[in-house]
Structure 1
Amino acid sequence: MTSGSDAGFRLTGRKVFLIFLAFFGTIFAADAFLLTSALRTWSGLEVRSPYQAGQRYNAELAGAREQEARGWTMDLDVRRAGDEEADVTAIARDRSGRPITGLAGRASLERPTDKRFDRAAGLVETERGTYRAVIEGALRGQWDLVVDFSDQHGERLFRRRSRVILP
């Protein structure tokens, strides 16, 4: 006759080893999945050289002070032009409200979360002080609109960054 306790579950060395393998195998598989996902979706650095960006910081501050001293204003408008196009309009005025003409401009739509989707186009003066660009590849969602204006020598005179949502 056998007792009821002999017919029950027995924890053997082999079962402990299999439980050990299953536990650490699950952790290893999850870590491998997370690591490969992170490497595939990494969008890169914000700037190519953070050290050089830090060195240019004082120059950026000086440029911002010069921009503020000019007293220019910029009215920006972004509208959906097609399924994957955005129409950007920038109206530039000086301190007294007169249109600013003859500038070279560039409009960029930058994804806050993934720089691989950034898109840009040159701004063209369509009327006195009114500049337009059509940016292709502008998907729905949240973007940073960056508008830069420079003189004929390429020196940046004005920069404006705005958060926009394309429906």
Structure 2
Amino acid sequence: MSASNRVTRPITGRFVLIAILAFFSVVIGANLVMMRFAIMTLPGTEVDSAYRASLAYQREIIAARQQNERNWQVQVYIHRQSDGEAVLAIEARDRLGAPLAGMNFVARLERPVDRRADRAIDVSQANVGIYRGSASRVAVGQWDLVIEGDDDGRRMFLSKNRIVLN
């Protein structure tokens, strides 16, 4: 047989149906796989209720103004050790430079892209005006360091800074 004598099969309705079904099965399958990966890696929302967050916004503005009026001098040092432990030191002084004693500081490392990786830092007073804490299993990279200080249940200090831990 020569190339010019080849028998060609006609395109039938059955062939077209199978080709269309196969094409859309591949497209839908790929979409389902991508959707599954997107849902598994979705970190969630920043706030659970935007309405409640907007109501609390005015209180946050007032608290920030009060914090600025106190004019506290708070120095924070943090570094990540090779075993993955992050060590935090906070030095807190009032506007006159006197150490702040008896404060309850709470600190946490928040991953900017994934809430599931957040790490709480246990902070305790080591000396007058000096507070220390640590967190284990802290990965290398960018973090938001959030520090809150309260006195008798009333928040007196809030700080949120982007840091890089190596």
Which blocks of at least 5 consecutive residues in structure 2 are unaligned? none
Q: Name the TM-score, length of structure 1 as normaliser.
A: 0.88
Displacement of 1:94 after TM fit?
1.9
Which blocks of at least 5 consecutive residues in structure 1 are unaligned? none
Amino acid corresponding to residue 34 of structure 1 in structure 2: M
Q: Once superposed, which parts of structure 1, at least 4 consecutive aligned residues long, lie more than 6 Å away?
A: none
Q: Distance in 2 between matches of 1:146 and 1:26?
A: 46
Which residues in structure 2 correspond to 1:135-154 (within 5 Å)?
Answer: 135-151=135-151, 153-154=152-153
Q: Distance in 1 between matches of 2:163 and 2:2?
A: 77
Whether 1:78 and 2:112 are equivalent positions in the alignment is no
Q: Distance in 1 between matches of 2:70 and 2:27?
A: 59
Structure 2 equivalent of residue 163 of structure 1: 162
1:68-107 alpha-carbon deviations (Å, 9 max, x no partner): 1111122111111452310011111222333222100011
In structure 2, relative to structure 1, the CA distance for the partners of 1:3 and 1:105 (3 Å cut) is closer
Q: Name the TM-score, length of structure 2 as normaliser.
A: 0.88
Partner secondary structure for residue 100 of structure 1: coil
Q: Which moved more, 1:108-117 or 1:120-129?
A: 120-129
Partner secondary structure for residue 138 of structure 1: coil
Instruction: State the Cα RMSD in Å.
Output: 2.2
Q: Distance in 2 between matches of 1:98 and 1:41?
A: 47
In structure 2, relative to structure 1, the CA distance for the partners of 1:2 and 1:61 (3 Å cut) is same
1:33-89 alpha-carbon deviations (Å, 9 max, x no partner): 122112222222223333211110100111011101111122111111452310011
State percent identity of aligned pairs.
37
In structure 2, relative to structure 1, the CA distance for the partners of 1:3 and 1:143 (3 Å cut) is closer
Q: Which moved more, 1:63-72 or 1:135-144?
A: 135-144
Q: Distance in 1 between matches of 2:121 and 2:81?
A: 14
Q: Which moved more, 1:17-26 or 1:58-67?
A: 17-26
Structure 2 equivalent of residue 126 of structure 1: 126
Displacement of 1:118 after TM fit?
1.1
Partner secondary structure for residue 7 of structure 2: coil
In structure 2, relative to structure 1, the CA distance for the partners of 1:81 and 1:6 (3 Å cut) is closer
Q: Distance in 2 between matches of 1:131 and 1:62?
A: 26
Q: Distance in 1 between matches of 2:21 and 2:61?
A: 57
Which residues in structure 2 correspond to 1:46-85 (within 5 Å)?
Answer: 46-85=46-85
